Amino acid sequence: MTDSDIVTLCRQAAQQQPTTIYFAIGCALGRYAPGEHPHQQYPPFMAAIPGCQICILMDPDLESPPRAVQDLTGSATPDQSVVTIQRITFIPVRRYFEWDSDQARIFIDQLCTICMVERAHLIVQDYAGNYIEQHYPIDRFGPDLTKRVLFDVTYRDGGCFIDLNAVRILKNRDGSFIQPKYDVITLTRSHLSREQLRYVLKERRSDLVHYIKRFHRLSTGAEEPRDWCVADIVLRRMQTLCHIYRVTPEPSIRSMEQLMSAYLFDLCTAVGDRVTEETANELIRSPTKDYENMLLGLEELLLETGVKVKEN
């Protein structure tokens, strides 16, 4: 089945009823004994999602029929075609998915377009170990994409071996996705476990302190140039944060200061504190680590108080 055929099938389904598309990459399970395989082809969280479901299973070594089909039908008769079992349609695709190729980008964009136009959601999981956040097309579709398209159900950086029984898809009451990576702390913290919140805070502070603030100091002549902290690298680190805080994505002093201030204001709001714009600028431009220490203090307070934060 070609990419065009898959897109057409997904679009037709989404035009008729609410549809969830699950795209599993590197999900062959033939090396596992029956009953001992991970449920990568049809994870437990999919069973909890209502409506029509289309599961695109892509792996050059995908067994025939896919193990998920065997689990649901009890039949191991080889079948190379699309299989529909009640509300679930399985599409086996026996080839590699090359994330860096134009073909892959076009395919992902077409699936995302369906989700933005029709009544559909897309969940993408790569079990081959690729870091797929860098391919999330938020720059092409805008921040509303996060409500419809989810890359990585772990809300971290994926992996080959995921405890799928422990995965909980975060959703709003209207069914739209909640994605901590792409929203302000103030709005997402009540949906996260303490460990999930700690991870988000750590990742966000790492980009701001180790790259953005350091490049800010380099740009103002406060530090000597570093070969690992240059404009193009810093811009990549800024992209997601700029979408979150509505800042122009460019490694300029103005944009960097706006971004650092926005995160500081976000943390203050989350803990019920307040800081003025003048104070924020003083912290950012301080030759000491006043800004970094302020972030750490606010993050620790948020984690310690546990207000509206769910435990694991």
Q: What is the mean pLDDT of each run of 10 residues along the chain (312 residues)?
A: 95 95 95 84 94 97 93 81 94 96 98 95 94 91 94 77 86 92 92 90 95 95 89 94 94 97 97 95 94 96 68 40
Looking at the DSSP bridge assignments, the partners of residue 86 are: none
Q: In which residue are the tokens 């599409």 written?
A: 91
Peptide bond into 65 cis (omega under 30): yes
Among residues 144, 92, 150, the alpha carbon closest in space to that of 121 is found at 150
H/E element holding 122? strand 120-126
Looking at the DSSP bridge assignments, the partners of residue 126 are: 25
pLDDT of residue 309: 40
pLDDT of residue 312: 38
Residue ranges covered by each domain of the chain: 3-182, 190-305
Query: How do strand 88-93 and strand 83-85 relate by DSSP bridges?
Result: antiparallel
pTM assigned to the model: 0.88
What DSSP character marks residue 146?
G
**Distance separating alpha carbons of residues 133 and 249, to the nearest angstrom:** 17
pLDDT of residue 308: 46
pLDDT of residue 310: 45
Neighbour order of strands in the sheet with 149-151 = 83-85, 88-93, 52-58, 19-25, 120-126, 149-151
pLDDT of residue 53: 97
pLDDT of residue 158: 59
pLDDT of residue 34: 75
Looking at the DSSP bridge assignments, the partners of residue 52 are: 19
